[in-house]
Amino acid sequence: MPRNSFPSSRSLINFFSFFFFPFVLVSLQIPSSHSVTSIHSKVVPPLFVFGDSFLDNGNNLQLKNPSVHFDFLPYGVDFPKGPSGRVTNGRNPADILGQLLGIHDFLPAALDPETRGKRVLAGVNYASGGSGILEMHCEHSRCIPVAQQIKIFEDVTLPDLRSQLNSSQVSELLFKGIFLFSSGGNDCYKMCIKSTQSKHCVTDESLHSLIEDYIQELKNLYDLGARKFVLIGLQQLGCVPHLREKEGTCFEKMNHAAALFNARLRSSIDRMKQVMPGSHVVVVNTYNIIGDILDDPAAKGFKVVNESCCPRSAATEQTMCEKGGNPCLERDSYLYFDGAHLTEAGYKQLVERAYLSQLQEVVYPYNVEHLAYEIGLQFPPASHISALEELR
């Protein structure tokens, strides 16, 4: 399947504006990076994060016997707090997006006992490494299924918010908040590993069922008040270092599954709007963004895209870093940190393009900045003056 599975690009205007929202009006200078240098002065929406190891910031560390955990070096070698459960050398996509939005502190992990009170006002991270859209990936409580992540939001975070804010304030916070998801990779990976088909490892039926389950999980959040969703699509699953090394080249059957999942996810936006009236959904085409780097690494600032930065552990089938192993020195020049996950440098390019790109083959139907600061700003009724303004 061709890498460009999204519609052709169209011009969008630059979106820079001011508006009222929950907490503090900030003058935000976006962190230095390969491409983002703009300066904004905005009021910051909260960010709520769900999904898998792309976004996990330490929730698995709170489980008794997690399927995967990343609390040892070289993970976190470049993170201010050291190893924290993030599956990379530094910040993960949730951290980077939070900073682009203007959130000053890293979001707290949902299972951290200290995640309560004012700490939840800017958002919470519920993601759990090893999880998927289907709950079967987290048997015996070894990770937190997405459905359970949403249940924690409902049973723990929402009551906490309601204890601090009035009902109108809570409704507006959810109405304008960003709900970030990364899910489906573990589902497609396991379908392919188990498949005996020679060409394709996912069927139309299995993908349809998977996407319907995904939409239902989004609908559960919608019913609680969420309106703005950012869905991170799948990367080229077959080109990650541990599979490339195993196969001798990219595992195209796995790539095909990822591309089909992404295409089906993007084409489901209209269906999502039918079951979630008034919602706004952005799909990030990770496949294309990472594909651009794989096609021309030097143009994107990378030198190594087919090997991991860290030495990998045989006990994890060459997927995870070896505990205490020495990582590469030029980490910004490597795309992958371990056998399946990107370096901070790779994640920065992914998130920055999702945030600012005006190409629909990169992020559809518009970028994350537009979603955050131009879409759905008027909290009903139309005459409403932000009840949250008094919190500033």
What gap in Å lies between CA 107 and CA 337, rounded to an integer? 22
What gap in Å lies between CA 122 and CA 164, rounded to an integer? 13
Q: Which residue has the tokens 């949730």?
A: 94
b (16+ CB within 10 A) / e for 259-285 = bbbbbbbbebbeebeeebeebbbbbbb
Kindly state the DSSP code that residue 181 receives in the 8-state scheme: E
C-alpha distances out from residue 338 to 65, 313, 326, 335, Å: 22, 10, 12, 10
Q: At what angle do helices 185-194 and 252-267 cross, to 10 degrees?
A: 140
Active centre residues (catalytic): 53, 338, 341
28 φ, ψ to 5°? -105, 120
What gap in Å lies between CA 6 and CA 386, rounded to an integer? 37
Smallest Cα–Cα separation from 14: which of 378, 382, 376, 366?
366
Residues pairing with 175 in the sheet: none
- Judge contact between 108 and 93, C-beta under 8 A: no
Q: At what angle do helices 344-356 and 286-295 cross, to 10 degrees?
A: 120
What gap in Å lies between CA 186 and CA 129, rounded to an integer? 10
Q: Do the bridges between strand 39-43 and strand 25-29 make them parallel or antiparallel, or are there none, so unpaired?
A: antiparallel
Structure token digits, residue 269:
């936006």
| Residues in CB range of 111: below 8 A, 6 or more apart | 58, 59, 62, 63, 144, 152
| Residues in CB range of 214: below 8 A, 6 or more apart | 133, 183, 184, 265
